[in-house]
Structure 1
Amino acid sequence: MLTDLNIEDPRWDDLGLDDLARAASVATLERLGLEPSVFEIAILACDDARIATLNADFRGKPAATNVLSWPSDERAAGIDGETPLPPDPADPELGDIAIAYETCAKEAAEAGKPMADHVTHLIVHGTLHLLGYDHERDGDATLMEGLETEILGKMGLPDPY
């Protein structure tokens, strides 16, 4: 399972991102009843400049953000608040996640959270996006945030909201 981790910014090295990403994605997949060993996620650990470029290229928003995700397939539910379609185990690639060091560090400091806890939350969040969860509609946001809180709680981390 998991991850093809590409660390572009060496500041990520001291955080143990590989272990954090693996734990977060495994916990997310297991909570959803999916076998983690079947699926793959690619993660790019970059800086704000790189994620701003990606955000501009893919979302038309030329600014840094904490995390971006690119699902390999459209899995979103058609009805607000419903569970997305499960991934096909015959197609193990779930998609890609990019995470930006400076934005994550700033957000963690502003919230008074350990960086590792915040990054774990963002990997759970990104993994849920790869699985079709979103927060654009109210019911979808409630479902996604509830799952995040539950998954992180089982990992021993506080409610991020």
Structure 2
Amino acid sequence: MALKDLSLSLQFGDLDDAALHRAALPRHSVTRWIRHALDLDAEITVRIVGAQEGQALNNSYRQKDYATNVLTFDYTQEPMIMADLVLCAPVVAKEAQENGKSLKDHYAHLLVHGTLHAQGWDHETSQEDAEEMEARETEILAGLGIENPY
């Protein structure tokens, strides 16, 4: 199956250890990871943020007053995907370290996860939906040479 087209904007906000996160997120890798998770062509902005911006966004849009690893803002799903994926660098780094994963592989997982959310996948609706989404993520990541994140 041919990969879908992707128009990508990759942005880095004000964050500590910017060089570390930029090194883990080369544009060609980010493009590859997202394209493998797409069922339709897409325009996606990926923004890597610090804890303050991540917390403010999570509080504003989800009423949860803490920074989370990835937020997905999906605007349209047809005829193409239009979405923003916001990843909080310090949360991603902490999770990667705690779970013994490379920073690059954890970013790949979260970008695939966020891309699936942008297409309507949801793991919070039921246990069955969560298991289906995890299986899809694992399948995509395996195709990218990345181990099962769960």
Give the structure 2 partner of residue 120 of structure 1. 108
2:97 is paired with a residue of what secondary structure?
helix
Q: Which amino acid aligns with 1:16?
A: L
Q: List runs of 5+ in structure 1 lacking aligned partners.
A: 74-86
Instruction: Name the Cα RMSD after superposition.
Output: 1.4
Q: Which amino acid aligns with 1:28?
A: A
Give the structure 2 partner of residue 23 of structure 1. 32
More strand by share: 2
Kept after mapping to 1: 8 A contact 2:81/2:118: no
Count of residues paired in the alignment: 140
Percent identity over paired residues: 35
1:2 is paired with a residue of what secondary structure?
strand
Kept after mapping to 2: 8 A contact 1:2/1:25: no
TM-score normalised per structure 2: 0.87
Give the structure 1 partner of residue 7 of structure 2. 2
User: 2:78 aligned to 88, 91, 101, which one?
Assistant: 88
TM-score normalised per structure 1: 0.81
Give the structure 1 partner of residue 94 of structure 2. 106
Q: Give distance in 1, aligned partners of 2:146 and 2:22.
A: 22
Kept after mapping to 1: 8 A contact 2:7/2:43: yes
Dislocated runs of 4+, deviation >3 Å? none
Q: Please state how far the C-alpha of 1:3 moved relative to its aligned partner.
A: 1.2
Q: List runs of 5+ in structure 2 lacking aligned partners.
A: 1-5
